[in-house]
Each structure stands twice: as structure tokens, then as C-alpha cells.
Amino acid sequence: MSPGTAPAIVGVIAAAGRATRLAPLPCSKELLPVGVHREPVALRGRPKVVSQYLLERMRAGGASRIFFVVRSGKFDIANYYGDGSHLGLSIAYLMMNEPWGPPFSAAQAAPFVDDATVLFGFPDILIHPDDCFVRARGRLHATGADIVLGLFAGALTDGLDLVGTDAKGRVTRLVTKEEAPVRREGDTGYMLAVWGPGFTRFLVEETGRLAKLARSGAPGPSPDWPMGAVIAAAIRAGLHVDSVFLSDARFLDIGTPEGLVAAGEFPGVWSGRA
């Protein structure tokens, strides 16, 4: 990137999961129909797949390039979206290398994002409002942070990673849901992130460290690290992890049977509500 040039904005989507909570499925869970198209007119009323909502949020956030990171057996995603031009996007597909969770999928895109601002979200989670990435990117620019988390107030049953901040919004702690923290109604968690080159470099370093642990041959089940584990490590390492609280936000994980049923009531999915 030349001096004075604004960094590119790139979306990274980790789509290498196995959808064990919904299995068996006839397609990748990212292609489950959730709602219908309202635009363009030619597609109005046709089924709309869940991951397209994330793509639209990323496009609204300024991304024109998207990287899907997939594993073998999920090429139906590429068959469905193609190059993304019909969505006004340029979509590329990367093969998962290390099989130990979303951070490794995200790190797979590192050689291609360079000095870009990265928009990161989960393709099986519906997020409202439309400008959630716009707000998070604005916070990244305003604070000079390495990474900004889009925060939500959750319910006891939401299963969010728990996020604590100081009075200025800087993230001081993150406890992953896998650590089974004690929960209270209205706890704050995150469901999207925007980061700059400093966090991209840390992501590569930290997943490299975790990969060595995974290959060490320690007994027990195969490790699977959540994205929150790497963000928590970034906090401990002294990176500037900041946040924007989305007071009007809603989210829904459709990766469970209950979430898939509840999608019918989510804003902008089946009805004309925005």
C-alpha cells in the first residue's frame, strides 16, 4: 500500500465447519435457505441462503473482496456464489489447511489481505442492523485499535463469549463460551470483528503457536480453538482490542435446529421488516 492510500477492505469468512449440530444436511450449512430475496426484482420471492446476509453486511461495510475459507466437501459454496459478481463482489475461495478451528481458517487468508482492513463474521449467524460493520470499522479508525469487536447484549441461552470493557470501550477480558463462564442476563458478547494488519500478524503467530501444541501428540480429543481464544491471547499480549456496543443489534445463530426455526422471526428475513 502506497503512502496516503486508504487500506483495502476485505471480508474473511471461515466456512470450514462440519455443521455437527444440524447434521445430516443435504448441503453446506452456509447455503441453507433462510428467507427470500426482496431485491433485485428478478429474484424477488426466491429463496435466500443464510451466508448471503453476512455478505451483504460486509458489502455495506465497504468490502468488495471476500475470501471464503472452505474444506474438502464444501465446494457447493463456490458452485453457488461463483465469482460473486452478481452480488457486486469479488469472491475467492481458499482451502483450509490446519483443521483446528476458525482462527486457523481466518489465518489462511493472511497472505492475501496484506495491509487490508479485515471484516470477519460467522456465516451461519444472522446479524442486524445492516450497518454493523460500518460502525465497527469507524471505531477501528477512530481509536487506532488493532481489532474492534461488535458487541451485543445477550440472553442467558445465547452462549456468547463474554466480553468485559473499561469505561472507554477498550476490551479488558474475553472468556470463551467453551470455558463455561457463569452467565447473567444481559451479558455482553461479540459476533463480528474488524481488524487491521497488526492483528493479522498476531493471528498468524498465535495460530502457529497453537499448531505446534496440536501436533505435540498430547493425549485427548483433537483440539478445536474458537476465535475468542486468539482474541483473548491478543489482550494478554498487549494488543489494543477495542469495541463498539451495538445497542440496537440482534443476532441469531441458525446453526442449531432451534435457531433455524427462529429465523422466521428475524428482522428482514421473511417479512418486509428492516
What is the domain-level CATH number for residue 88?
A: 3.90.550.10
Q: Decide: 124 and 254 in contact? Cβ < 8 Å.
A: yes
pLDDT at 184 over 90: no
Residue type, 37: H
Tell me the HSE value of 6 on the side-chain side, using a 13 A CA sphere. Answer: 7
Q: What is the pTM of this model?
A: 0.91
Nearest to 50 by CA among 255, 237, 201: 255
- Looking at the chain, which runs of residues are DSSP E strands? 9-14, 33-36, 47-49, 65-70, 90-95, 117-121, 125-128, 147-153, 162-165, 171-175, 188-195, 241-245, 250-253
Range of the domain at 166: 9-211+225-265
For the chain, the domain total comes to: 1
In a domain? residue 82: yes
In a domain? residue 249: yes
> If DSSP codes are grouped into helix, strand and coil, which group holds residue 262?
helix
> If DSSP codes are grouped into helix, strand and coil, which group holds residue 123?
coil
The tens digit of pLDDT for each residue in 71-125 reads: 988 999 999 999 999 999 999 999 998 889 999 999 999 999 989 999 999 998 8
> Which has the minimum average pLDDT: 2-16, 120-134, 253-267?
253-267
